[in-house]
Amino acid sequence: MLGGMTSTAPRNPQATQLARFAGLIADETRAACLLALLDGRAWTASELARHAGVAASTLSEHLGKLVAGGLLAEERQGRHRYVRLADARVAQVVEELSAQVGAQPRARNLRESSAGSAMARGRTCYDHLAGRLGIVVTDAMTTRLLLSQDAGFALTDAGLAWFAAAGIGLDRKSRRPLVRACLDWTERRPHLAGVAGAALCRHALEVGWCVRIGTERAVRVTAEGERALRELLGIESSALR
């Protein structure tokens, strides 16, 4: 100490960046937007404003911060401004943070209760299946030795053959991991994500095994989907309802 002044340690740049990142999420309106965009689709600014219950001008300011911070990607088509989550990494952070905050708040009415039940039963988490549906599929794949959870998630040789036999293509050249565990915020257990999880979800929606319901991320397994999952993974229909 010289002249009565105390020395201070230099700032940690990583700590500064982490604080800025956390600050982007630490706002209820921005958090509502990030949760809505976990459905993997692009939303217009006006749609998100209605969803978050704020004025369009207020929402625009929040979106600007999220885009500048790298959490959202933006594109314009004519007069419309669309935003989506920047990538799967952002979706993983949002979903896993959601898993840490506890159970859903008590529903205020029957509509909220029904929507919450549908989300817990089956939903998309960015680009893969989540909720009870995601867990049931993950467990079935593990039981059939298609997926190993011994040291993280990994597809077995039988698992790779299963995807090929089911006609579900896997992008083996992607920078994303082929499989990874994603902590489910309602089930508090990991479900299948990564390239394989995304491919399975996309296939399920394209061939009609699942359909989206409502305006949230909820999905419902169709009768055709129940038959397919029973034949391909031995999943009983009762486990999907």
- The pLDDT of residue 226 is 96
pLDDT for position 107: 46
Task: Check: CB of residue 146 under 8 Å from CB of residue 155.
Answer: yes
Measured CA to CA, the distance from residue 4 to residue 2 in angstroms comes to 5
Structural domains of the chain, with CATH: 17-86 (1.10.10.10), 114-240 (no CATH)
Judged against a pLDDT cut of 80, whether residue 105 lies above it is answered with no
The model's pLDDT over 61-88, given as tens digits with 9 standing for 90+, comes to 999 999 999 999 998 887 778 999 998 8
For residue 113, report the phi and psi dihedrals to the nearest 5 degrees: -65, -45
Q: Are 67 and 33 in contact (CB under 8 A)?
A: no
Among residues of the chain, what percentage have pLDDT more than 90? 58
3-state DSSP call for residue 236?
coil
Out of 12-21, 23-32, 127-136, 138-147, least confident range? 12-21
Look at residue 109 in the predicted model and tell me its pLDDT: 46
Report yes or no: 40 and 126 within 8 Å, Cβ to Cβ.
yes
Quickly count: other Cβ atoms within 10 Å of residue 68's Cβ: 11
pLDDT of residue 123: 92
Per-residue pLDDT reduced to its tens digit, 170-187? 998 888 899 999 888 888
Residue 155 has pLDDT above 70, yes or no: yes
CA-nearest of 84, 90, 100 to 39 is: 84
Which tokens sit at 128? 């893969």
- Does the structure show a pLDDT above 80 at 5? no
